[in-house]
Amino acid sequence: MKIRELRIGNYIQDKDGNIDEVRALAAVRGLPEKINDIPHEGYFQPILLTEEWLIKFGFVKNPDTSYDIVRYDIDEFQTVKLYSGGGASVAEEGMDAAEVDYVHQLQNYHFLVIGKDLTVELT
């Protein structure tokens, strides 16, 4: 995961698997990149997009699924497909699908297309 892929509000995990929200980003030439004032390299990693995360974000399992693709809808226009072999894609009606393997990628896509953040309560 590169720091330039992230936005304030994205969810990531630390090296121990603890979930955190991006609150600050720093990328200054010649200095280590930082997320939340902690050096990024080797400490933070992306969160794999799973059914659990989709449900937390408000997506609902669509009955129109097959044995190797499970669909989740957040509204009548946006659909995420999880593939049994790994990986996922998201599509807005009338647009090409985009590959999204991680939570922050889905958050960024949703913000870009819908203009609203996908958020959950972290406990």
Are 57 and 40 in a shared domain? no
Model confidence pTM above 0.75: yes
Cα separation, 2 vs 8, in Å, equals 14
Alpha-carbon separation of residue 88 from 49, 63, 97, 118 (angstroms): 8, 17, 10, 17
Same domain, 23 and 58: no
Q: Do 73 and 103 lie in a common domain?
A: yes
> Could you tell me if 41 and 55 lie in one domain?
no
Q: Which residues pair with 109 in a beta bridge?
A: none
User: Are both 38 and 58 inside the same structural domain?
Assistant: no
Positive/negative CA dihedral, 36, 46, 102, 55: negative
Domain residues for the domain of 15 are 3-45
Residues 57 and 109 in one domain: yes
Q: Which amino acid is at 60?
A: V
In a domain, 120, yes or no: no
Provide the domain count of the chain.
Answer: 2
pLDDT digits (tens, 9 = 90+) for 47-86: 999 888 988 888 888 777 776 777 777 776 778 888 877 7
Q: Looking at the domain assignment, is residue 13 inside a domain?
A: yes
Q: Are residues 68 and 93 in the same domain?
A: yes
**84 belongs to a structural domain:** yes
Pairing state between β 69-73 and 78-83 = antiparallel
pLDDT in tens, 1-19: 888 999 999 999 999 999 9
Which has the closest alpha carbon to 60: 44, 46, 76?
76
Q: Residue 123: is its pLDDT beyond 70? A: no
Q: Are residues 69 and 94 in the same domain?
A: yes
29 vs 15: CA distance, rounded Å: 24
